[in-house]
Amino acid sequence: RKSIKVIHIFILCTICFFLFYSNMAFPFVLKRGEKIVIEPDEIINEDMYIRASEVEINGTINGDLWIVGGVISINGQISGNVYIIGSSISFGGVIVGGIKVVGKDIFISAEVGKDAFLLGSQIIINRDTFVGGDVVFAGKEVDVEGIFKKNMYGAGKKIIINSSIDGESKFWVGDLELRSRTKIGGGVFYRSNKNAVVFPGAEIKGKIMREAPVETGPRRSLFSYLLKINPYIWMFVRFLSGLIVGIFFILFSPRVINRVANTVYEKPIPSFLWGLLIAVIVPIFSIVAFVFIVSIPVALILISIYTMVVSAGIVGFEIFIGRFLLRKNRFDVEKKVLLISFLVGLAILSLVRFIPVVGPILLILVLIIGSGGVVSAFQGMRKRGEIDIRT
């Protein structure tokens, strides 16, 4: 059984946040502007990257096509894959590869050789559409016609199927309609509170199986059960994990963690801005990761790096607090001094957690400023040639 296919995040994010906002020269065609039009007689023999408010592709592109824009129309021939983030997106023509699309309104009337992934509010797939691979979609209102050679997986508030699907179909839906031109070679599985409406003439070779959503309480982890026995267990575990992380940084990278603590003190505003930036970007990357994934190992590495940055930032902030209260020399990188300052700071932040309303807000500020302090510290160390994570 094939699971829902999702691919290509890191390339897309790199394009959105780097390629389209730089003036470097790249070994592919890059177009930026208010309106980009590829005429019918134009032939692009490379991958193409476009950022524009309005995009029209009427020519031929012998490579992959990447677009970030507003109103986007594809009517030419694309020999590779198509990746789009936009508002209103319409497809015509021929796409030899697959399509991965995120938008508000998506209209498809095209021939797609491989898989199609669609994420939008309104998704309309017209009768003359052909898709050679699997189709995965999620939207509020979805109307599907056309011919699909493999499986279809979808989620939506209302899904209307009036098409030919050679494989199986699975839907997570509020209202499901199987219209009269529906022909499904496999079975239909759907999860809904309502029975599907099957019109006369619809042909489903397999079984139609409905599963009602089960109302269950929140899943309880081992920690939640322990918490029920003793509410202080989780507090102790959290304190212990913070202690272990802090000792690790102090033992193996005292110079770097000291620099982070000093940066939090010397440059609180830049640290806050950097921390706020990565606090916004990383969740976006994480969300889009479920849509476009090019390499799971790369994604795991990035998440690990971010976790290390946040951990180092919190430890650095705790050292700053302890050093400030103990009036220690901020240029002293002796491990004993750093450890004492860290323990004091850790104790203070642990107590701050108990303050209603204000406590969580202060902890969020610590996380943002601390992680931003790591970025600012490494920037300064790189400029001075001081980057050395060894003790």
- Rounded Cα distance between 303 and 309, Å, is 10
Query: What pLDDT does residue 232 have?
Result: 58
What one-letter code names the amino acid at 193?
Answer: N
Query: What pLDDT does residue 379 have?
Result: 79
pLDDT in tens, 12-26: 444 444 444 444 444
pTM over 0.75: no
pLDDT in tens, 269-316: 888 888 888 887 776 666 665 555 444 555 666 677 788 888 888 898
Q: What is the DSSP letter of 207?
A: -
> Exposed, middle or buried by CB within 10 Å (0-12, 13-18, 19+), for 297?
exposed
What one-letter code names the amino acid at 269?
Answer: I
Q: Average pLDDT of 206-216? A: 78
Q: Average pLDDT of 230-254? A: 76
Cβ pair 159, 171 in contact under 8 A: yes
- Rounded Cα distance between 90 and 75, Å, is 8
pLDDT in tens, 56-103: 999 999 999 988 888 999 999 999 999 888 889 999 889 999 998 888
Query: What pLDDT does residue 17 have?
Result: 42
* Torsions phi, psi for 195 (to 5 deg): -75, 145
Q: Which of 276, 298, 282, 283 lies closest to 376, judged by CA?
A: 276
Query: What pLDDT does residue 327 have?
Result: 77
94-95 and 111-112 strand pairing: parallel
CA distances from 91 to 21, 108, 240 (A): 26, 5, 55
Q: Which of 282, 268, 243 lies closest to 365, judged by CA?
A: 268
What is the pLDDT confidence band of residue 386, given thresholds at 50, 70 and 90?
low
Q: Which residue has the higher pLDDT, 172 or 215?
A: 172
Cβ pair 198, 176 in contact under 8 A: no
Query: Within a 13 Å sphere around the CA of 268, how many CA atoms are in the beta-carbon half?
Result: 5
> 149-158, 229-238, 268-277, 342-351: lowest mean pLDDT where?
229-238
Average pLDDT, the chain: 80
Query: What pLDDT does residue 3 have?
Result: 39
Q: Which two tokens stand for residue 211?
A: 């599963």
Burial 172-193 (b: 16+ CB within 10 A, else e): bbebbbbbeebbbbbebbbbbe
pLDDT of 245 strictly over 50? yes
Q: What is the DSSP letter of 82?
A: E
pLDDT in tens, 176-201: 999 999 999 999 999 998 999 999 99
* Torsions phi, psi for 140 (to 5 deg): -80, -55
pLDDT of 223 strictly over 60? no
- Rounded Cα distance between 50 and 229, Å, is 57
C-alpha 314 chain-centroid distance:
24
Q: Name the region of 146 (left: φ>0; alpha: ψ -120 to 50; beta: rest).
A: left
- Rounded Cα distance between 104 and 13, Å, is 19
Q: Which of 246, 243, 231 lies closest to 316, judged by CA?
A: 246
Q: Which of 391, 154, 383, 152 lies closest to 255, judged by CA?
A: 391
3-state helix, strand, coil in the chain (%, to 5): 40, 30, 30
- Rounded Cα distance between 264 and 372, Å, is 8
Q: Which of 316, 304, 215 lies closest to 265, judged by CA?
A: 316
Residue reference for tokens 């692009």: 44
Q: Name the region of 385 (left: φ>0; alpha: ψ -120 to 50; beta: rest).
A: left
Cβ pair 181, 161 in contact under 8 A: no
* Torsions phi, psi for 261 (to 5 deg): -60, -40
What is the pLDDT confidence band of residue 38, given thresholds at 50, 70 and 90?
very high
Q: Which residue has the higher pLDDT, 232 or 321?
A: 321
Query: What pLDDT does residue 332 have?
Result: 66
pLDDT in tens, 133-169: 999 998 889 999 999 999 999 999 999 999 999 999 9
- Rounded Cα distance between 390 and 320, Å, is 21
Q: Which two tokens stand for residue 289?
A: 């990761």
Q: Which residue has the higher pLDDT, 352 or 391?
A: 352
